[in-house]
Structures are given as C-alpha cells and as structure tokens.
Amino acid sequence: MIIDIDQKAGFCFGVTNAITKAEAEIAKSGSLLCLGEMVHNQEETQRLSDLGMKTISYEDFGVTHNATVLFRAHGEPPSTYQTAVNNHINVIDATCPIVLRLHNLIYENTLKYPDAQTVIFGKKDHAEVVGLVGQVRGGNVVVVSSANEISKIDFTKTILLYSQTTMSYESYESLATEIDLCIKQINPEGKLLKFNTICSSVKSRVANLHDYVRRFDAVLFVAGANSSNGKYLFSACQKANPRTYYISQISGITPEMLNGVERLGITGATSTPKWLLQSVGEAALLVNSGSKS
C-alpha cells in the first residue's frame, strides 16, 4: 500500500502562531495558562499539556489573579480583556490576525451604521462567534447557523452580514441570497451589506481537498471530534471520495478502512497537527500489514 500525506494539510497560520507563542512562554517560565481549548484536537492539546500548559475555563479565569494567560487564536470579546485588567493578568494575545481584522470591522460598522442589525453566520456558542458578538455596540445582533433561522432577523433594518471565518462559503452565499429575497418581499427599501469574512485559506482548502482525495482508493481524514472546521472539510472530502473516513486518533483506524486499498491519502482539518498526520500514516501501514498476516 502506498501512503501519501497531504502537504497542504495541517494548522492554519492563526493556530500555528498561537502554539508558537505558547511554546515560547513555556520554555521561558515552565508553565502557562490558556483560556479555553487551544485547538479542537485532543492529541495536540495533550502534547501541550505535557509540556506545561494548563487549559482553564472562563469561570476559572474570572477568579484568576496576577498570572499569565494566553488568549487563543479564536479571539475574545472586550469583556474578557476587561477582566484581565481588573485581575492584573498578563495577557499573551494570540488572536488570529484575520479574526482581529473582523473584530475591528464589526466594531467600526456598528458605529457607522448605529441603526442597523448585525447578523453573524456561525455557531452561536463557538468561541470565535462569542468574540465577534462582543464587538457589536448597542447589542443589536443575531447569530444564525443556517438559512432556516432567518426568521430571527429584523428585515425592517439595514442588515450587516458577516460570517465566522471558518464557515462554508457556499452556505454563506446561500444565506445572503435568502436574506436578500426576504428584504425585497418585506422591505423593498431595505439594504443588505454583505462582508466577505470567510478566511481565504478555508475557501481554497475545499477546492484543494476535492482534487487531493480523488487521487486515492481511500482517505483518512484526521480531525478532533469537536472540530467544526473538521466536520465541514470532511463533508467536502466525502462528496469527492465516498471512501473518506473521519478519525480523531490512531486507534480509530480499522482494517476495514484499508480493505482493497492500494493508494491511501491522509489529510485533515486546519486544527490537525502535521505530526499527527505522519503518525496516522505510520499506524495505517502497521494495521494494513497486520491484516494481511
């Protein structure tokens, strides 16, 4: 069996930057607190924990004082920064630059269009979305995860439409079309201002994956069980190659996945470390050889 590791897979810049900052601080001081899960990948989280990083909850953060805490790539609302000031916390800010630009855009537009309603396409409780919602002055904001939820929107107002950076571009465009139709029916004088806020690397990743997975008899897609980006990209892979299997760790590989496979591709989400993809490749060889013995 020939195994190919997707060289375009692995951490996006934001996650890589956050991990680099975490490793540097741990090397200097021996330990580090991280607010929330650094990345939705259990294997990488465990590696960082073994190095000396401890993940804390927002409840823990509220009662933490005089400590150094890393803010991960997802970004934080203003209230989190205020808590850090109040509690004399030294912040290592690893917010992804793309997310930070989106924070600034939302903030500036709520000042520019004070009577508009902000609509964010994303997962309501996702850390990035919580940070985006926090940038809206006046609180006139709704979060929708699909076109089925557009009844939440007030179509009598100008609508400012954004997206969580890792959402499906096609779904975002579909949502925008549905909103535009509703405006024409309910408020013909209304406006929809749509902002292109999906990360360009996420959009191009789908096209690259379509081309990649078609080259193989089967594909192992590696991502954390709770990775939103992973589930989205896996769905795209499976459409292009039905023999694409989602695994979160090496133990998820089964002989059945490799049955009759001569060429195996291994890829993953933007939250999947390269070292884990390599380990999965090595494990797949062992499983395959074991099934033939």
Residues with a known catalytic role: 128
Strand ordering across the sheet containing 32-35: 53-56, 32-35, 68-71, 90-93
Closest CA to 150 of 121, 128, 127, 129: 121
> CA–CA separation, 196 vs 201, rounded Å?
13
Closest CA to 43 of 278, 276, 281, 277: 276
Q: Is 88 left (phi over 0), alpha (psi -120 to 50) or beta?
A: left
> CA–CA separation, 154 vs 140, rounded Å?
10
Beta bridge partners, 175, equal none
> CA–CA separation, 43 vs 288, rounded Å?
23
Q: Is 8 left (phi over 0), alpha (psi -120 to 50) or beta?
A: alpha
247 close to 227: Cβ distance less than 8 angstroms:
no
